[in-house]
Amino acid sequence: MNKMHKEHTLTKNQQIIFDLIDKSSEPLKAYSILYNVQKKGIKAPLQVYRALDKLVEIGKIHKIESRNAFIACHNSSCQVAKATAFSICEICEKVTEISSAGLSKYLANFKDKDGMKYSKYNLEFFGLCKKCR
């Protein structure tokens, strides 16, 4: 198989699960994923969680921690820095990945009281989306 540059070639299970998440309009939960890929031969939770772990690790998807759900990344810079930001509508649960150069720069340069810098972070904003206001 042709392995181009730094591209991660997904395995069969990883590809099946990534495709499902990528084409979804909303974040998907692990057991919802499991249910939807059983016809493709993925039968057990662990198969799903292993693929999810790897996809998160390589930055193809992100976990929305407050919702225990997974969303595909459409922001190529995330694949380098594990620095993510999302907006979440508290009514319709719509989740959008925020890609703001200003925000990521601010957070990447943020130092706490001890002068500590953090390259990795996860930020979740909550509010009402346009529709729900």
Partner DNA sequence: ATATTAATGTTATATTATTACACAGTGTTA
Partner DNA sequence: TAACACTGTGTAATAATATAACATTAATAT
Which of Zn ion, a copy of itself, DNA, none interacts with 46 (beta carbon under 5 to 8 A by kind)?
DNA
Distance of CA 106 to the CA centre of its chain: 21
AA letter at 98: I
Q: Does 92 bind Zn ion (CB under 5 A)?
A: yes
CB 51 within 8 A of CB 58: no
Give the CA distances from residue 32 to residues 19, 46, 59, 83, 120, in Å, rounded to whole numbers and listed in that order. 14, 13, 21, 26, 28
Q: State residue 45 phi and psi, 5-degree precision.
A: -50, -45
d(CA 92, CA 43): 30
CB of 125 to a copy of itself, least distance (A): 4
- 13-52 mask for a copy of itself (x: CB under 8 A)? ----------------------------------------
Query: In this structure, what token pair is assigned to residue 127?
Result: 């509010």
Of 1-9, 19-27, 37-45, 110-118, the segment contacting a copy of itself by CB under 8 A is 110-118
Judged by the rule CB under 7 A, the positions of this chain that interact with DNA are 1, 3, 9, 11-14, 29-32, 41-47, 49-51, 53-54, 68
Judged by the rule CB under 8 A, the positions of this chain that interact with a copy of itself are 65-66, 82, 87, 96, 98, 100, 103, 106-107, 110, 112-114, 116-127, 129-130
